[in-house]
Structure 1
């Protein structure tokens, strides 16, 4: 599955990161591969360039355009590479993932940052809570995309996570990180149904 960058209008200030889309090239029999589609995961931001016109002038990521920036190998599955920019039909779909939700813990001292990835179902995360063995559930704030943070002393405690996706489904993973966890480590928790 390919990753894709989204224009401002689609990116939703990073909340959409992890969401999955099906794309199909349309309206051009000369350049589109008819009857084919690709599945992509939103992971990147395509920043606007207000110095360029949005209609055919290179400012494809300028609001209000809905634009997907695809890697060439993914683009070539739905259109010939010489086509450059093509109109696509897209739809949001459930994400199918293997393995559990991944938590990469980073930070320093009392600042904990957690990158959450490999989320099935809706794919994008709406809310996260973290819990140490000596604390209650602490809500985390969105830093950017699917990186969440909290300021708390959670050292030397096993960590649990409560993750809620944009469709309102919540999965709780208890004791994902052991008592001796350290910054820079990655852990795997329960998975959402796809």
Structure 2
């Protein structure tokens, strides 16, 4: 074990890339005016620092706010549109786009898997 003083134990670590099978998964919760998205199966550094959503109804990228853990939220009318997500890794700063991750018929309570993932 490491030497410790006053309850402090020095720990050395290094991050290693997460190799994940398949794309990032987006689990939807919320209501018609609020979308909460829980993000799982994140490859690369395994983290998400920023996230945006875009519907196919002609709007631009809408920045999502961090809610808790690996969940992000957006306020607005997103129903009836296919949804794409843009994610930036907190650790590496890399950004990817998960285009059309959820179909226009998406529903609260379901999980959708994108084709994209961090490497």
Question: Fold-level match, TM-score > 0.5?
Answer: yes
Task: List alignment gaps of at least 5 residues for structure 1.
Answer: 1-25, 29-53, 56-64, 67-86
1:159 and 2:83 correspond:
yes
Point out the structure with max Rg over C-alpha: 1
1:109 and 2:109 correspond:
no
RMSD across aligned positions (CA)? 1.9
Larger helix proportion, structure 1 or 2? 1
Counterpart mapping for 1:33-52 below 5 A: none
| Structure 1 residue ranges, 4+ long, deviating more than 3 angstroms after superposition | none
1:127 and 2:89 correspond:
no
TM-score, normalisation: structure 2: 0.87
TM-score, normalisation: structure 1: 0.55
Aligned residues: 114
Identify the structure with bigger relative contact order (alpha carbons < 8 Å, sequence gap 6+): 2
SS in 2 for 1:125: coil
Structure 2 match to 1:184 = 109
Counterpart mapping for 1:70-149 below 5 A: 89-134=12-57, 135-149=59-73
